[in-house]
């Protein structure tokens, strides 16, 4: 029950803050990639700082899958984590809708919905999400490595900076979701399902490969 609560609230906080940071009208019409990237990175930092000592603060089904591959959690824990994250995503975006005037939520376009750039194909978008998630997940695997346990106090900041970097670089291509739960809530509330599969397939494959890659090549159990 404690894990459910932590993953639910953590994901809700992540979606609420990251989507609040890209709400046009409330911050003026010119929202920059820098602003949205900072909102995404620092939202992840906040969620990890709040709940990493309780559930690991995965707040991301792809990270949960990676944790299972790395032996951090059991198979029976996976649906508990993912279900909590999905519910948290829906709740986080619902809270944003509750506090934001309708005129600032561009439903016709899909406010905060992660979408590929018009000039890249869905396959290219899937590849971008795969690569970005792979990089992020390898960094997370490194944080779980027993050789890094002494540096655990800075994990939230380090992962947040990496997410910020990936958002400022890959964001213009796909929105740099790297997190199916992050994309799911806004997609449901805005009913924008076109290309949503990209934000499940890319991150899940990226996290799966990164977990196997780190475990086989770099991990040294004490």
pLDDT per residue over 84-143, tens digit each?
999 999 999 999 999 988 887 765 567 889 999 999 999 999 999 999 999 999 999 999
Determine phi and psi for 26, rounding to 5 degrees.
-75, -25
The pTM score is: 0.93
- Grade residue 18 by pLDDT with cuts at 50, 70 and 90: very high
Percent of the chain with pLDDT over 90: 81
- Grade residue 222 by pLDDT with cuts at 50, 70 and 90: low
Q: What's the DSSP call for residue 212?
A: H
State the Rg of the chain over Cα: 16
Structural domain tally of the chain? 1
- Grade residue 76 by pLDDT with cuts at 50, 70 and 90: very high
The residue segments making up the domain with residue 5 are: 1-218
Residue 96, domain CATH: 1.20.1080.10
Distances (CA, A) of 39 to 31, 32, 122, 165: 11, 11, 25, 12
Region 37-42: what's the mean pLDDT? 95
Region 45-69: what's the mean pLDDT? 96
- Residue 47 contacts residue 14 (beta carbons within 8 Å): yes
């Amino acid at each position: 029950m404690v894990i459910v609560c932590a993953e639910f609230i953590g994901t809700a906080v992540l979606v609420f803050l990251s989507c609040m940071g890209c709400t046009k009208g409330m911050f003026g019409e010119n929202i920059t990639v820098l602003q949205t990237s900072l909102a995404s990175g620092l939202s992840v930092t906040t969620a990890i700082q709040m709940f990493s000592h309780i559930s690991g603060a995965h707040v991301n089904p792809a990270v949960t899958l990676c944790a299972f591959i790395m032996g951090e959690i059991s198979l029976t824990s996976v649906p508990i984590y993912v279900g909590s994250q999905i519910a948290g995503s829906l709740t986080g975006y619902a809270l944003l809708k509750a506090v934001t005037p309708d005129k600032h939520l561009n439903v016709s376009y899909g406010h905060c919905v992660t979408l590929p750039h018009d000039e890249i194909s869905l396959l290219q978008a899937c590849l971008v999400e795969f690569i970005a998630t792979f990089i992020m997940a390898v960094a997370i695997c490194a944080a779980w490595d027993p050789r890094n346990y002494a540096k655990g106090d800075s994990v939230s900041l380090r992962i947040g900076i990496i997410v910020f970097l990936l958002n400022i670089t890959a964001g213009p291509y796909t929105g740099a979701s790297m997190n199916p739960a992050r994309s799911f809530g806004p997609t449901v509330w805005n009913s924008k399902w076109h290309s949503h599969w990209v934000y499940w397939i890319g991150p899940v494959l990226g996290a799966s490969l990164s977990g196997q890659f780190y475990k086989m090549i770099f991990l040294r159990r004490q």
